[in-house]
A and B are shown apart, each in its own frame.
Chain A
Amino acid sequence: MSSAPSAQEILSTASTLRWQVGASVHDSLMEALYTEAARIADKAVTRSGEQPKFDLDRTIDRIVTSRWAGFPIMLALLALVMWLTIAGANVPSALLASLFLDTIYPGLKSLAASAHFPWWLSGLLIDGMYLAMAWVVSVMLPPMAIFFPLFTLAEDFGYLPRVAFNLDRFFKKAGAHGKQALTMSMGYGCNAAGVVSARVIDSPRERLIAIITNNFAICNGRWPTQILIASIFVGSLVAPHWAGLVSATAVIGVVLMGIGFTFLVSWVLSRTWLRGEASAFSLELPPYRPPRILQTIYTSLIDRTLIVLWRAVVFALPAGAVIWLVSNIEIGNVSIAEHLIQSFDPFAVFIGLNGVILLAYVIAIPANEIVIPTVLMLTVLNARLAGVGSGAGVMFELDSMEATADVLRTGGWTVLTGINLMIFSLLHNPCSTTIYTIYKETRSARWTAVATLMPIALGILVCFLVAQVWRML
């Protein structure tokens, strides 16, 4: 063979030789590789004495992945993280709100007045866009700044793979990937982040399931709605000293319901449009590592909190403008918002909600954070309450929970409305940021539509059923 062989010759030589060397090429190669690796490692590593740390890892693992303690520990940690987030966010949220609403807002208003802005311009810019932005920042920033670092600390420590390990058999039964537990946990912080994290799942089928069901993990923007409504309507059903516990239980109940829907929808999808077996995967349980607290706080603030916040602000600005416009543009002396509320009302009341809630969810699609302020503003506008709030199209928050409760009751709210709002807050379309992210990740308008519309359909169905049962009782 004097001349250089062609590609075809080489391939034919390879296939001839393949027959000669036998079918065990792969096995022989792997065997040689493993033998060499073992030999070198054996020479290079020396062990001095016992290894207490390794036993500690094993002991922790035996507890956190055990059949009887694994789930209670997971729930307890979830409850602890939620409690820290909710309790810790109150004070900074109030500070930010007072800065944005009590100091900057009047300042901007008087500035606009001295610059002789027409009323509609200062209304649109300040009452609409600025207030929506201020709301999102003051309500969203503190809980995210607490939740994300806590989550990252758990991740840095090494707890997350154990969660995936615990939940794996359930996801497997539902025909989904065990790593969906990781994407779901991420969704409790932010669904958009959860959708992106579904990249850790290799199989496109299981990845789609993880993306579509991520919305069933209540994100940070929905926690305030859950907690406020649970406290007003569920907590008030029992004696005051039980109220806190009962309303917290109601919130955890909604979380568990979301997990139930995650499994149910995954199961249905994996038996219908996304048919297939759950793929096996090996998830290594890494050693526990002492978390680097300062670095974690820094990076999770920069990378997660601020990026998510920025996107929410970008979406909140136009939403604020829309809210202001529908409340202030009048057709026949009645604002567009009121027209819409009245046209939504029959259907909304039929499924145990009301027109205000439906309209609020349509307007507040950019960010779940602005649902409650929008609901309050629309309720006051619609019921024409005097002396409450700050005028048409101006989002506001009341100082006390009692005041909020009074406004809502005057607007015709009942315990059923409250419970169904909590359910609808779980089961409705993802926010526009998440929808956009789903499209970017799946590159499919069809699956984006499924992920957007399916939760609404479920929400309407479940709210309807709850309303039927409620009215029969």
Chain B
Amino acid sequence: MSTPNQTSPCATCPAHRVANLTKLGVDMSNYDYVVALAGNPNTGKSTVFNSLTGLRQHTGNWPGKTVSRAEGAFSFEGKRYKIVDLPGTYSLLSTSHDEEIARNFLLFGQPDVTVIVVDGTRLERNLNLALQVLEITERVVVCVNLMDEARRRGLQVDDRLLARELGVPVVPTAARQGEGIPALLAAMAEVATGKIVCRPYRIKSEPPALKRGIEQLTSRLRAAYPNLPNARWVALRLLEGDPRIVEAVQTGELDSLAAGQATSGERSSLTIVPEAV
């Protein structure tokens, strides 16, 4: 594969496509797309981050090492991507500092693709977070990582079924061994460029009274902010009285968020406070 040939079948095989990956490290100038890496603690987000960027963000087998956002860049098939490694969280309800960072980035940073890294050996618990992310953003790739460990434990994860259920691309990987990274890159590129349009699964099994409340508030939100991509999620947060989201409505932050979405490319200038002591 040393001489790339347009006519050869190599051009379409994933092994060739990974040759288009250029690891750009911390050079994040002029990016075309922003990728967020979200997931539970200790699912290998930082390992995925490192294998894409060529950076050596510290990894270790214990939850909670990534203490604030880490950023890096890579270029793939001629497009430059900025990738943000978010701290691992179990939920996005903003009960801790980590969750706050992750959630604010997904909501206000408006990544073009969010890669949810889930642990293939603990799929049920990891899907809790994945479903919450799917409420916030549509453009998602689910990366079922640690497949090597799952295999060792005799677990089989049906990625096609998972993709059908979740409505977004699902890629099985073993990032420590570099397995599945080419497919992950391809899926990310396709979601970022809009080749794949996701239809994320949204929970429908709330009790009727709550459902009515959500619908009512969602329609008000849609009327006020026609371009808001995640009105339903914002409605849920408002119903729960989430102070951060109430504030975003009051200050008009939500306004600019919706506007940013409309012009696509003009990002909200909101900065996410990385750490506060």
A: residues with CB less than 8 A from B are 1, 4-7, 9-11, 13-15, 17-18, 20-22, 25-26, 28-29, 32-38, 40-51, 53-54, 152, 155-158, 160-161, 164, 179, 182, 199-200, 202, 204, 207, 283-284, 286-289, 292, 299, 302-303, 441-443
Contacts and interface: CB of A to CB of B under 8 A. Distances in A.
B154 A49 contact: yes
Contact of A303 (B41, B58, B220, B239): B58
Contacts of A50: 154
A422 B195 CA distance: 66
A13 B220 contact: yes
Nearest to A196: B67
5 contacts: A10-B220, A13-B220, A17-B239, A44-B165, A160-B61
A20 B211 CA distance: 11
Interface residues of B, number: 68
* Top 4 closest pairs, chain A to chain B, by CB: A41-B124, A37-B127, A14-B238, A199-B67
A51 B129 CA distance: 26
B155 A46 contact: yes
Contacts, number: 182
Contact of B165 (A40, A48, A152): A40
Interface string B110-124: 000000000001011
Nearest to A159: B61
B201 to A, nearest CB: 8
A157 B60 CA distance: 8
Contact of A156 (B56, B61, B131): B61
Interface SS of B by simple majority = helix
Contact of A37 (B60, B124, B152, B213): B124
B113 to A, nearest CB: 21
Given A17-B216, A40-B166, A157 B42 contact: no
B176 interface: yes
Interface string B180-214: 00000000000000000000010101110110110
Contacts of B165: 40, 43-44
Contacts of A204: 277
Interface in B135-173: 149, 152-159, 161-162, 165-166
A164 B61 CA distance: 13
Contact of A21 (B96, B98, B130, B209): B209
B265 interface: no
B97 A202 contact: yes
B152 A155 contact: no
A41 B42 contact: no
